[in-house]
A and B are shown apart, each in its own frame.
Chain A
Amino acid sequence: MVVASMILSALLFVVGTLGVLIRRNAIIMFLSIELQLNAVNLTFVALSRVWGIEGQIFVFFVMTVAAAEAAVGLAIIISIFRHYETVNVNNFNLLKW
């Protein structure tokens, strides 16, 4: 089941990457990043069956960083929405070259 979990986690990571690349809605892109973080968490938990409890402790830290990232990222989205009245990242081209 450990190997099957790692295959599942690879599939979830690929789906998350696809979401980040093809969606233009900033909130959906954030959700896809959370999906990638969860795929990595699944790898850690699966490999903790092989290497010991440290994998599960690291999942703890990943969850904390994900919570902090979601809070700050959503605050940034809110403050961008005040300026542009949209969350479509095609309209955020201030830094575009």
Chain B
Amino acid sequence: MVDILFYIFAAVAIGSALGVVMSRNPVGSLLFMVATLASLAGIFVLLEAHFLAAVQVIVYAGAIMVLFLFVIMLLNLGHDYQKDLKWGAFSVLSFIVVGTLAGFLARALGAGSTGDVMSSAGGRSIDAAVSEFGAVGAIARPLFTTYVVPFEITGILLLVAIVGALVLAKRNV
């Protein structure tokens, strides 16, 4: 059952990722991206990362994609059907680069083991933490103890991003 769901989500994710790249309408490509993100959230649930699945839907598919949609609508690109694929020598080079990358990834993954690792030591420790502290607490506990300095620096990064976005998008500073 879980495997069948995984393959359905994976097929939707790959199909809509191709839709993102191939769609000529920017809004269509954005909606394909939302479908990709939603199916990735489903795969997160199958991998027992429930909190991250919720965050994926709320933050990624909700907030960031709406930001993209706002910009597309603001710049009036919704009916921009001009050909923007770049052909010629550059595209041949692109396909060579992408093919080489795919080959290396396939080789690296083919060399790995194919055993069932869903119930290894790491998975068991996550399951124990989730049953003790809940899905949020299992992430929050190490985040606010061991990783509290990177967490605070992330806050500063977001502040800098807000100020930078405001300064850049203002008409005259």
Contact = CB atoms under 8 A, between A and B. Distances in A.
Q: How extensive is the interface on chain B, given as a class?
A: 35 or more
23 contacts: A3-B109, A6-B109, A8-B10, A10-B105, A14-B98, A16-B17, A22-B85, A28-B20, A28-B26, A31-B30, A34-B60, A50-B117, A52-B122, A52-B125, A57-B147, A61-B150, A64-B158, A68-B158, A68-B161, A72-B168, A74-B71, A81-B75, A82-B171
A45 B52 contact: yes
A72 B161 contact: yes
A62 to B, nearest CB: 10
Contact of A77 (B71, B102, B160): B71
A66 B64 contact: yes
A5 to B, nearest CB: 6
A30 B64 CA distance: 11
Interface of B: 2-3, 6, 10, 13-14, 17-18, 20-21, 26, 29-30, 33, 36-37, 40, 43-44, 46-49, 51-52, 55-56, 59-60, 63-64, 67-68, 71-72, 74-75, 77, 80, 82, 84-86, 91, 94-95, 97-98, 101-102, 105-106, 109, 112-114, 117-118, 120-123, 125-126, 129, 138-139, 142-143, 147, 150, 154, 157-158, 160-162, 164-166, 168-169, 171
Q: How extensive is the interface on chain A, given as a class?
A: 35 or more
* B contact face: mostly helix, strand, loop, or mixed: helix
A46 B17 contact: no
